[in-house]
Amino acid sequence: MKKILVIFSFLLINFISAHTCANETVKCPIDGYKVTFCVTMSMSTHGSYKDFQKVGAIGTYYEELINTCPKCSFSGYLSDFKEKYTREQKYLLKNYLSTIKNSKKDEVEQCIIAAEIKELLKKQNKEIGFIYLTGSYFLRTDMSKSELRINLQEKVRNNLVQALANREYELSSIASIDYLIAEMNRRTNKFQDAIKYYDLAINNKDKQDWVEEVAKEQKELAEKQDPNNDL
């Protein structure tokens, strides 16, 4: 009976919020300070924005992806907090973190620090690109920070272009990444570059099924020089 109740209440939570997460506390790899992540257990999505941000009852999914140590500002995914760093890497990280002002960081600042840490540690460009992309999602509708949003999207584009050059993606993902590069170009007013990358996506014979229709639709916006970031 007790087991049934537990399952029932879990489902109930699920039904009401459709997003559930469970706390996991880890130690900051720099100073051992405790940081708690709420790891997403379930959520229901229905589609995504045209820049891959998930839509649906996703609660604080994106907010919980990346966290920051309140003491030293080390930032990253849960896996970054669990990773073992060498003495040299810790030295690099401490040096970098000492340049950051000690204050409460908003979601975008957390992403920027996490991405810069991965740059410092020479992680894959696709990883770095997707952290900047997450940061840009938080600024989707904030007109007062559109300059920062564009700056992040340019970093996404640069990292994804580099990731393709480094052959970090499987063949079946390349068209999707070309499409995302096109979207970043369009959203940052680089319409000619956007059209070039939409065409690469459309003409790629290994593309996933959804790519052709969406890329053609978005290419029309680029041809009209429309940098709309709301979609």
In the complex, which residues of this chain contact Zn ion (CB under 5 A)?
A: 28, 30-31, 33, 69, 71-72, 74
Query: Closer to Zn ion at the Cβ: 10 or 33?
Result: 33
Pair 174, 140: CB distance under 8 Å: no
Question: Smallest distance, Å, CB 115 to Zn ion?
Answer: 17
Closest CA to 115 of 145, 80, 83: 80
Residue closer to Zn ion by CB (options 93, 115) is 93
In the complex with Zn ion, which residue's Cβ is closer, 90 or 216?
90
Minimum gap (Å) between residue 99 Cβ and Zn ion: 15
Residue 112 Cβ, how far from Zn ion at the closest point, in Å?
17
Tokens of 209: 């099924």
Q: Give the SS3 label for residue 44.
A: strand
C-alpha distances in Å from residue 199, one per residue of 68, 190, 220? 39, 15, 11
CB 54, min distance to Zn ion, A: 29
Measured from the CB atom, is 97 or 182 closer to Zn ion? 97
Rounded to a whole number of angstroms, the minimum distance from the CB of residue 75 to Zn ion is: 9
Nearest to Zn ion of 104, 205 (CB atom): 104
- Residue 191 CA: distances (Å) to CA of 1, 10, 50, 205: 61, 48, 16, 24
CA 75 from chain center: how many Å? 13
Radius of gyration for the chain, computed over Cα atoms and rounded to the nearest angstrom: 20
C-beta of 35: minimal distance to Zn ion in Å?
7
Calpha distance 182→195 (Å, rounded): 7
| Helix or strand holding residue 206 (H, E) | none
Nearer to Zn ion, 106 or 213 (CB): 106
Report the sign of the C-alpha dihedral through residues 226, 143, 97, 62, in that order: negative
